[in-house]
Amino acid sequence: MDKNTFMKELEQALSVLQKDELKDILSEYEQHIDMKMKSGLTEEEAIADFGSLTELTEDILSAYHVRADYAAPKKKPFQGPEKAKAACIHAGEKAAEGLKSLGAFLASVLAYWKRKIRAPFVWAFGRWKKHKEKGYHMEKQEITTWIPGDVPEDREPQMQNGEKEGGGAVGGMQTGPGRLQGFGRKPDWKKRSVWKAFLNGIEAAFRLMVQAVLWGVRMMWNAGWICFSLFFAVCGVVCLYILGLFVVLLMQDYPLAGVTVGFLGAMLCAFSVAGLGLTFLWRKEKARDIRHGDSGGPDREKDSAQKTEGEQYA
């Protein structure tokens, strides 16, 4: 038996004694072993001179007027650690489970509020986009139906009818103004289409501008949050450094337990605030809208609205 196991077993066997008494008697035995070893014996021999451990502990305990057989059941703590270990593991698992469910709950609450807060914006932007698209569409339709349609073609058949009814000469006379009328109409239409194109151009420019502004805002927002997170991450690292320092000092018996725990808390706080800041980042949402866009349903519509909103800023 080597010294460490001997000391451990002796401590276990004498665990019925008060702390300082135990420490006192153990230090005596330890010193004795050390001196024996200094006089040339090996560790094993020095310990073998004590004889059997049970007799020794009986002797020691009788000196304290403690029944040795009372101490014997105290040996049960040998199995204790197993039980305690299992209990600890069990408790740890339970705690982890509890924390997980708590985290899930908090996440769902946060998600709920995020949705709640976002909803009006999503709705507003959805409306805005729909409105824009509708306007754009209607204009396009107007143009496309206007070009080949109503006015020129409707007029021409009418004129032809007039020609036929009115006879040769009069018809010939009438073709002039009729054609003139037709020619007169065409520049008007052209003017309007140019006007429309001009408007479209302005609108496109405006849209581009809005997008640029949104992009700028997004950049500012993200940069702000990244700076925020970075700041707190740096704070966390500094706290970690100080924590390490204090732990070392604590090991050297400086009374810094409170401050150390404080810095541990500060470090955790700083890191979690940094993490929180990152969750506020405004990210692009990619290509999911293609799959969801077509399918109907109110929920899906909401979803796609959210996405289009995301796209809008992108």
Partner 1 sequence: MNAQFKKGVLELIVLESVRQRDMYGYELVEEVSKVVDVNEGTIYPLLKRLTNEHYFETYLRESNEGPPRKYYHLTAAGVLYRDLLEKEWNELTEKVGEFLEGCRHG
Query: DSSP class of residue 140?
Result: H
By CB under 8 A, is residue 69 in contact with partner 1?
no
- Specify whether the CB–CB gap between 151 and 189 falls below 8 A: yes
Smallest separation, CB 32 to partner 1 (Å): 5
Q: In the complex, what is the shortest distance from the CB of residue 4 to partner 1, in angstroms, rounded to a whole number?
A: 17
Complex with partner 1: residue 28 or 165, whichever CB lies closer: 28
Q: Would you say 28 or 142 has its CB closer to partner 1?
A: 28
Per CB under 8 A, the list member of 19, 38, 164, 291 interacting with partner 1 is 38
Stretch that binds partner 1, among 60-68, 103-111, 221-229, 246-254 (CB under 8 A): 60-68
Measured torsion, CA atoms of residues 173, 178, 184, 185, in degrees rounded to the nearest 10: 180
User: Any contact of residue 3 with partner 1 (CB under 8 A)?
Assistant: no
Stretch that binds partner 1, among 21-29, 122-130, 152-160, 208-216 (CB under 8 A): 21-29
Burial of 141 from C-beta contacts in 10 A (0-12 / 13-18 / 19+):
exposed
Tell me how far apart the alpha carbons of residues 110 and 45 are, in angstroms, rounded to a whole number. Answer: 68
- DSSP code of residue 64: T
Q: Rule CB under 8 A: say whether 299 interacts with partner 1.
A: no
Minimum separation from the CB atom of position 68 to partner 1 (A): 11
- Residue from 5, 45, 64, 172 touching partner 1 (CB under 8 A): that is 64
Whole-number minimum distance, CB 36 to partner 1, in Å? 8
278 binds partner 1 (CB under 8 A): no
- If the CB atoms of residues 32 and 218 are measured against partner 1, the closer one turns out to be 32
* Cβ-based neighbours of 125, under 8 Å, separated by 6 or more: 305, 308, 309, 312
Interface region with partner 1, contact rule CB under 8 A, candidates 45-53, 182-190, 247-255, 279-287:
45-53
CB 244, CB 263: distance < 8 Å: no
> Positive or negative, the Cα torsion across 53, 59, 65, 70?
positive
Tokens describing residue 267: 């470090």
Backbone angles phi, psi at 253, to 5 degrees: 70, 20
16 or 122: whose CB is closer to partner 1?
16
Task: Considering the complex, state which of residue 48 and residue 84 has its C-beta at the smaller distance from partner 1.
Answer: 48
Q: Quick check: 29 binds partner 1 (CB under 8 A)?
A: yes
CA triplet 97, 98, 104: central angle to 5 degrees? Answer: 90
Residue whose CB is less far from partner 1, 16 or 60: 60
Q: How far apart are CA 34 and CA 180, in angstroms?
A: 127
Residue 161 touches partner 1, criterion: CB under 8 A: no
Cα-based angle 22, 26, 27 (whole degrees, multiple of 5): 120
User: Should residue 31 be labelled a site residue for partner 1 when binding is judged by CB under 8 A?
Assistant: yes
Site for partner 1 in 179-198 (CB under 8 A): none
Binding piece for partner 1, criterion CB under 8 A, among 43-51, 70-78, 260-268, 304-312: 43-51
59 binds partner 1 (CB under 8 A): yes
Cα 220 to Cα 34, 113, 216, 228, distances in angstroms: 71, 24, 6, 12
Q: How far is CA 295 from the centre of its chain?
A: 29
Binding site for partner 1 (CB under 8 A): 25, 27-29, 31-32, 34-36, 38, 49-51, 55-56, 59-64
